[in-house]
Structure 1
Amino acid sequence: MDFLYSVQKTITIDMSDLKWKESIGYLDENIIGRIEGYFGGREAEFGFEKSIFMFWILKEEKELLHKPRPLQNYNNHVYFLYDEICSGKELVLIDSKNSTREKQDLANS
């Protein structure tokens, strides 16, 4: 890991809405360009199996110069405690109480 990020905003875009570009017109031009680039690349490579997409607008908060990584690789997402990630250790432990939480659990927490 190189950086810690915070979520500044989440947006949902419905590609079936012909005015979807207008719906994101309030965003910074750089962010709009990145979203349009994503859709252009997605269309060229894979197409769209669904019309609704969610995006997380992130902000770099802290550079992790020690490049922390877990003791093993995981096939899904895992959680880390902030203090563990920022400890300066290269090998960091996952937050085991959160490593198997379901999406529903997260939505309700």
Structure 2
Amino acid sequence: MEHLSVKQCRTLLRIQSKDTINKYLKTLNLFGQKRLSWSELQQILELQIFLGLKHGRNSREKFIKISRQELEQTFQTYGVDVNARLAALQKIHRNSVQQKQHCVSM
């Protein structure tokens, strides 16, 4: 299974601040890990989306307390397809890795 560095995750999710990604990682009990799996990246993506839906009203604490069913229903209500967004991020990552390998081999 492929793992990504925290910096790669931050870049893919367009998170500008190290503080922000660290807060997300602490919220999800992932802080201190050097590499993250795609399922862990999906958790970060879900947190990021959740916080953006009701900016200022949704919180990291609320995200932790919400059930999986409530979370999926919230995303459905707002028309958010997390799996499609994750697939798009995976494609972006694969393309960037291929470009880097191509540049190195030339």
Q: Normalised by the size of structure 1, how large is the TM-score?
A: 0.26
Name whichever structure is richer in strand by fraction. 1
Larger radius of gyration: 1
Query: RCO (CA 8 Å, sep 6+): is it higher in 1 or 2?
Result: 1
Q: Normalised by the size of structure 2, how large is the TM-score?
A: 0.27
